[in-house]
């Protein structure tokens, strides 16, 4: 087990993108600021995507302008094309992520492009971003299963991950978009991808739809992955993956890692407060088991 692992908090983006009601900018800003105060150093803060496709993310520039940027914290944004990059650069962002998929149908539904077309589209985005001194992360979605195509071949994931690395992504995040993976499927996928991309450049991104996410985090840790995407309070779901629920909760991942003696730099109590804040703002109970347990303990 590693001495240290990194958490990429995706709640403000993956967590909120699917919310039907407009969430006030002030709420998003307070969430991001609380997450940074809790010690998270990588926070995916929003997306520069088409507001027709994902209306909730339309205020990304406004959110970025209003947060209190902390030194040592990277605030990143999804960017699907040059138009999104232009907006991101105009807003002054320092890190972006391009997002592809291992399933043709999901790629078409999510970004209206085939896998090959999407890679051609990302190439100049990554190049222009890097020319502007902006760090570029890559995502591969549907790395285990697709809502339209079912099981996905690990070699298909490896191909896209390799292409993203080749265009200069410093890290490739492997997304189990619909949360169907088990540790065995996760390990088979990681084994294939690690032949093309060094494990030190991989991140794991689990949704918890089938309740397997923490088991998959553990399996990935044993494999050598040390970067995990997660969402405070387990918020989330992808608008183009029906039935997919939130990411694995950051509170639960932090509790697991700390329990294994793995440092994260995150203050779990402050993180639980951030989760309670956004859960109250959304008017629903937290999706984190650890937060529920610790809030009950506090109340007793």
Residues near ligand HMG (CB under 6 A): 14, 17, 47-54, 78, 80-81, 83-84, 87, 99, 110-112, 139, 141, 175, 177, 205, 207, 238-240
> Binds 64, which of ligand HMG, Mg ion, none (CB < 5 to 8 A, cut-off by type)?
none
> Binds 20, which of Mg ion, ligand HMG, none (CB < 5 to 8 A, cut-off by type)?
none
> Binds 220, which of Mg ion, ligand HMG, none (CB < 5 to 8 A, cut-off by type)?
none
Q: What is the number of the residue whose Cβ is closest to ligand HMG?
A: 175
How far is the C-alpha of 175 from the C-alpha of 100, rounded, in Å?
A: 10
Residue 118: how many CA atoms within 13 Å on its side-chain side? 28
CB of 18 to ligand HMG, least distance (A): 8
Q: 53 or 218, CB closer to ligand HMG?
A: 53
How far is the C-alpha of 96 from the C-alpha of 125, rounded, in Å?
A: 10
How far is the C-alpha of 143 from the C-alpha of 176, rounded, in Å?
A: 5
CB of 130 to Mg ion, least distance (A): 24
What are the residue ranges of helices labelled H in 38-150? Answer: 60-66, 82-91, 104-111, 115-131
Cβ contact 165:172 at 8 Å: yes
CB of 132 to Mg ion, least distance (A): 26
Beta strand 150-151 with 145-146: parallel, antiparallel or unpaired?
Answer: antiparallel
Q: 197 or 268, CB closer to ligand HMG?
A: 197
Cβ contact 32:64 at 8 Å: no
User: Does 238 qualify as catalytic in the annotation?
Assistant: yes
Q: Which structure tokens are listed for 25?
A: 């900018």
> Binds 49, which of Mg ion, ligand HMG, none (CB < 5 to 8 A, cut-off by type)?
ligand HMG
| Catalytic residue selected from 96, 163, 189, 238 | 238
**Nearest one of 172, 170, 84, 171 to 121, comparing CA atoms:** 84
> Binds 298, which of ligand HMG, Mg ion, none (CB < 5 to 8 A, cut-off by type)?
none
CB of 177 to ligand HMG, least distance (A): 3
Neighbours of 83 (CB within 10 A): 13
CB of 109 to ligand HMG, least distance (A): 9
Residue 5: what are its φ and ψ, rounded to 5°? Answer: -135, 155
Q: 238 or 290, CB closer to ligand HMG?
A: 238
Q: Which helix (H) or strand (E) holds 276?
A: helix 268-282
Residue 248: what are its φ and ψ, rounded to 5°? Answer: -55, 140
> Interface residues for Mg ion in 7-46 (CB under 5 A)?
14
Q: 42 or 294, CB closer to ligand HMG?
A: 42
Which positions are annotated as active-site residues?
238
Task: Provide the binding-site residues for Mg ion, judged by CB under 5 A.
Answer: 14
């Amino acid at each position: 087990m590693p001495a240290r692992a990194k958490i990429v908090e995706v709640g403000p983006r993956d967590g909120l993108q699917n919310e039907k009601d407009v969430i006030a900018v002030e709420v998003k800003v307070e969430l991001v600021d609380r997450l940074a105060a809790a010690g998270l150093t990588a926070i995916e803060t929003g997306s520069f995507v088409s507001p027709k496709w994902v209306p909730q993310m339309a205020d990304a520039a406004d959110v970025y302008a209003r947060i209190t940027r902390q030194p040592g914290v990277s605030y990143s944004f999804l960017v699907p094309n040059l138009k999104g990059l232009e907006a991101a650069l105009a807003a002054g962002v320092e890190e972006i992520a391009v997002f592809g998929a291992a399933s043709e149908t999901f790629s078409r539904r999510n970004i209206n492009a085939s896998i090959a077309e999407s890679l051609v589209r990302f190439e100049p985005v990554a190049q222009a971003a890097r020319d502007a001194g902006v760090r570029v992360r890559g995502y591969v979605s549907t790395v285990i299963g697709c809502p339209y195509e079912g099981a996905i071949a690990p070699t298909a994931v490896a191909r896209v991950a390799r292409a993203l690395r080749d265009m200069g992504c410093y890290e490739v995040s492997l997304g189990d978009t619909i949360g169907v993976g088990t540790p065995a499927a996760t390990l088979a996928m990681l084994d294939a991808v690690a032949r093309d991309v060094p494990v030190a450049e991989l991140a794991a991104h689990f949704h918890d739809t089938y309740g397997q996410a923490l088991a998959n985090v553990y399996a990935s840790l044993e494999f050598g992955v040390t970067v995990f995407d997660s969402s405070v309070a387990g918020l989330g779901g992808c608008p183009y993956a029906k039935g997919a629920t939130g990411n694995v909760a950051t509170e639960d991942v932090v509790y697991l890692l700390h329990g294994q003696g793995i440092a994260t730099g995150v203050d779990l109590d402050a993180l639980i407060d951030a989760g309670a804040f956004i859960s109250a703002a959304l008017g629903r109970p937290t999706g984190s088991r650890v937060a529920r347990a610790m809030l009950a303990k506090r109340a007793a």
